Amino acid sequence: MNRALPLSALLTLSIALPALADEVNVYSYRQPELIQPLMDAFTKETGIDVNVAFLSKGVIERLTAEGRRTPADLVLTTDISRLAAVVAAGLTQPVESDVLAANVPDAYRDPGNEWFGLTSRARVVYASRDRVAEGEVTSYEDLADPKWKGRICTRSGTHAYTLALVAAFLHHNGEEATRAWLEGVKENLARKPQGNDRAQVKAIWAGECDLSLGNTYYMGAMLADEEQKDWAESVRILFPVFEGSGTHVNLSGMALTKHAPHKEDAIKLMEFLTSVDAQQIYAEKVFEYPIAPGATADPLVASWGSFTPDGMNLMDVAAQRPAALKLIEAVDFDG
């Protein structure tokens, strides 16, 4: 039976017992209830149990402290910078798999096969249906236009999602232009950065601002929540682009831990998660875009519109993250 276990329980098991066959232990940044249907489907197909421990932070510190004693076989996480950080810390190992090579496009996996993408999400603009006309925002650069002064809400500049967007902007436009853009967006804020992506949409619904940045999947989550449905229906999704390129995307992904005690079964889970069947479950349950060839977006997600993803390699996003953070702090974006 699959279980969502506390970290202490997984660690205790790893010390007290030898590695058991036919199970996989996962450290996950994703809420267990979002991925449990996938784990249940894997167990039904293979007979291999999956234990998921949810961590809101501290995966690197945990794996480092556990070392060879770790019970964790896989890390599931969101945002390319988190995946890159686990790899940079020397806590993963490469996986050579023809299945993964076929199911995961080159743009969504590490060149050294240390991590593999699972789903993608676009960083979009949520715009008031009543106060923003169609076509008023077509690029991320537009957000610095003075006409939006006092009309934009956003979460913290130091959050991973914002950092990734700024890192991509920096890659495309260089340091001087990125600093000017950040200063312009800051001038246009209706309030200090705060809250999560849903909180920004709520602020638009409440009339506090007219535009916000957010990941696409939050629209699906809000529509499924009776309390938040009105927020979602007060906005439309716009797919801005970097001038001369496409819409910023990020991903959720996975990596095999360096000391995985159930390596063979863990790789089977990795391969399953990139299969068309599993990708369709992902698409339905988390409102993200599947990446496996042949998998399609959930009809609700497809109804939001189509877009062309930015073509830059996601490892380039991760590489620009430190410089992006320095610029965000230099302009005192959250101040």
Q: Is the CA virtual torsion 259, 160, 77, 123 positive or negative?
A: negative
Tokens of 258: 């360096």
Instruction: Provide the residue ranges of all domains of the chain, joining segments of one domain with +.
Output: 3-120+249-297, 121-248+306-330
pLDDT band, residue 16 (cuts 50/70/90):
very low
pLDDT, tens digit (0-9, with 9 covering 90-100), for 75-90: 999 888 889 999 999 9
Residue 12, pLDDT above cutoff 70:
no
Tokens of 153: 């809400």
Superfamily (CATH H level) for 121-248+306-330: Periplasmic binding protein-like II (3.40.190.10)
Of all residues in the chain, the percent with pLDDT exceeding 70 is 94
Residue 18, pLDDT above cutoff 50:
no
Burial (CB < 10 A; 0-12, 13-18, 19+), residue 68, is exposed
Residue 8, pLDDT above cutoff 90:
no
Average pLDDT of the chain is: 92
pLDDT, tens digit (0-9, with 9 covering 90-100), for 170-186: 999 999 999 999 999 99
Same fold, 3-120+249-297 and 121-248+306-330: yes
Q: Which of 9, 89, 66, 35 is nearest to 269 (CA)?
A: 35
Residue 105, pLDDT above cutoff 70:
yes
Which has the higher per-residue pLDDT, 32 or 328?
A: 328
pTM for this entry: 0.86
> How large is the average pLDDT for residues 27-47?
89
pLDDT, tens digit (0-9, with 9 covering 90-100), for 113-140: 999 999 999 999 999 999 999 999 999 9
pLDDT, tens digit (0-9, with 9 covering 90-100), for 273-292: 999 999 998 888 889 999 99
CATH of domain 3-120+249-297: 3.40.190.10
